[in-house]
Amino acid sequence: MQKYSLIWWIIVAVFLMAPLHPANADPGAIEQGRDLVVQNCSSCHAIGKTDSNAHPDAVAFRDLSKQYPVEQLEEALAEGILSGHPDMPVREFEAEQVGQIIAYLKSIQIE
C-alpha cells in the first residue's frame, strides 16, 4: 500500500512541474496567441502547420522565420504598423497580446 502511494505522489509531482519545463514554456500564452491570430489573421494567412493561405499574396505564418526572427514583429504588432501590404487591416495589440502572438508564432515555425 505504502509503495503505491509513493509512486502516485511522484506522478503527481511530475505533472505539477511540467509547466516549468522549458519545452512547455507558458502554454497559456501560446493558446491565447493562437486565438488572436485565428480571429485577426486567419482570414488571409495560413496560421497552422499545414493549412494554406486564404489570400493568395499572404505568407504562411509558419514560414515567417525563414525571412526574419519572429521577435522582430513585436514592435510592428504593438504599433499597428504591420500595414506594408494592401488588404491587411491595421490593428494595434496590447503588450500582453503581442507577447502571446509572438509565442504562438514561435511555436509553429518550421526552421
Task: Take residue 22 and report the three cell numbers written for it.
Answer: 522549458
Residues 6+ apart with CB under 8 A from 51: 60
Q: Is residue 84 a contact point for ligand HEC (CB under 6 A)?
A: yes
Choices 4-12, 13-21, 24-32, 87-95 (CB under 6 A): range interacting with ligand HEC: 87-95
Whether 108 contacts 34, CB under 8 Å: no
User: Which of 16, 20, 87, 90 touches ligand HEC (CB under 6 A)?
Assistant: 87
d(CA 1, CA 23): 34
- Residues in the site for ligand HEC, rule: CB under 6 A? 37, 40-41, 43-45, 55, 57-59, 64, 67, 73, 82, 84-85, 87-89, 91
